[in-house]
Amino acid sequence: MSQEAEKEMSVLLSMYKVIPKDQRDKAALLQAEAKLRAELSEARSEIAALQSANADLQTRCAQLQRECRAVPAQTLKKESEEPLDLGEKKATVDAQSSEPSPRDGATALSNSVGSSTNATNAAYQSSSPSSTFKTSISPEGDKTATPASAPPPPPPPPPPLPLMPPVPRKTSNLEEEKKAWRVAGLQQELLHTQRRCHSLEQRVGILQQHLITAKQQEDVMLKEMEVTGQAFEDVQEQNVRLLKSLREKDDANLNQMTEWMKTSQLARLLKEEKKLLDEQVRLMQAKIEALTRAIQKQEDKERLLLTNLETLEKEAASRQQSQEAYKRKSVECQQREEDLRVTVQKYLGQLNEAQTTVQEKASAYEQVSFRHQRLQV
């Protein structure tokens, strides 16, 4: 039963997500019905156990009543067989008239117990089937039992009879006194058993009233189940429609998922391409920075070269000026050289003339000297 209840609970919990509030209330009736069925089965098992205990107690009570009835009969039989004197009989008659005997108390107690048992059974039989109840179940699963007619209260327990101790008589022996005490103990045990039986009968009556109430609630729940079954069919149709729409939504979500996967893959590729482009841009920026640094160095070199060129131009201009001066000086020197050459040629001509004249004079002197020496010789 518990497994079926758990299955119903799992079904109801799964249905709560898709059904509205009124259908949830109807589904709560299923849970209430399962709970009522469990309580009904427990009450039936408890009633069966109490009925078996009541039957055992009734058999025990009948056995005790038979024993109580048998003991006074045996004592009366023995007293009738024993001869008694008239004086003793008068004494016993006076004692019996003044004080009750244990046999009389046992007989009266057995009669009262039998009458109280019969009265209790009659009252229980008349009160158990006549009680009717009305059951109302709210949509939330609350159950309220309203009695149509209040059941009669259970009969009160029989009043305890005073246990009379055995009165010692002059003619009674020790065995009769023991039997009298035994009868008193049996009477006390019978009274205790009767009280227990009465309490069990009251409990059985209450449980039977609960059983009747549970049966009426079960009838109401069956009627509600018919309505709930129709509602469940409606819910099933609605579930079919919802499943169809859910499939359509799943298809749409699947298409969206494929598109999303494509876009995510494209975005991933674009991100990778962007990373590559960023790397290339970073490398280009590094190259540009290196080129700018090289350009700056070249510009610095160019400025140095320009300054050197200016200095060289100045030197070239100064050298040009000195060269022009040297050219003028060379022209002047050439002119002087020409002049000197003319004068040298002139002086050479004069020298040649002088040499010729000297040679002529020398030759003439030698001739003269030769002549002279020749003459001297």
- Across 229-248, average pLDDT: 82
The helix (H) or strand (E) run that includes residue 144 is strand 143-147
Q: What is the DSSP string of 102-129?
A: HHHHHHHHHHHHHHHHHHHHHHHHHHTT
- Scored b (16 or more CB within 10 A) or e, 72-81 reads beebeeeeee
pLDDT tens-digit profile of 305-338? 999 999 999 998 998 998 898 888 888 988 888 8
Angle (nearest 5°) at CA 369 between 366 and 371: 105
- List phi, psi (to 5°) of 136: -125, 130
- pLDDT value, residue 295: 92
Residue 223 has pLDDT above 60, yes or no: yes
> Which of left, alpha, beta for 141 (phi over 0: left; psi -120 to 50: alpha)?
left
Confidence of residue 192 (pLDDT cuts 50, 70, 90): confident
Rg over alpha carbons for the chain, rounded to the nearest Å, is 77
Task: Pull the structure tokens for residue 278.
Answer: 């960023």
Evaluated on CA atoms 72, 74, 78, 80, the torsion sign reads: positive
Q: Which pair of structure tokens corresponds to residue 287?
A: 């190259």
Question: Quick one: DSSP state of residue 155?
Answer: P
- pLDDT grade for 208, boundaries at 50, 70 and 90: confident
Q: pLDDT class for 279, splitting at 50, 70, 90?
A: very high
Question: Would the pLDDT of 377 be above 70?
Answer: no
Residue 160 region by backbone torsions, left for phi larger than 0, else alpha for psi between -120 and 50, else beta: beta
**pLDDT band with cut points at 50, 70 and 90 for residue 220:** confident
Token pair for 58: 């009734």
Between 150 and 258, the more confident residue is 258
Query: 3-state DSSP call for residue 156?
Result: coil
Mean pLDDT value across residues 150-167: 47
Say whether pLDDT at 282 is over 80: yes
Q: Percent of the chain, pLDDT > 90? A: 11
Cα separations (Å) of 298 from 290, 308, 356?
12, 15, 78
The region that residue 301 occupies, defined by phi over 0 for left and psi between -120 and 50 for alpha, beta otherwise, is alpha
- 147 close to 95: Cβ distance less than 8 angstroms: no
Taking 60 as the threshold, does the pLDDT of residue 130 lie above it?
no
Residue with tokens 């009674």: 172
Q: Going by C-beta distance under 8 Å and a sequence separation of 6 or more, which residues neighbour residue 174?
A: none
Least confident of 116-120, 202-206, 209-213, 304-308: 116-120
Residue 367: alpha-carbon gap to chain centroid: 162
Q: What is the pLDDT of residue 288?
A: 93
Q: Compute the Cα dihedral for 47, 48, 49, 53 and give only its sign.
A: positive
Q: Which structure tokens are listed for 307?
A: 């300054």
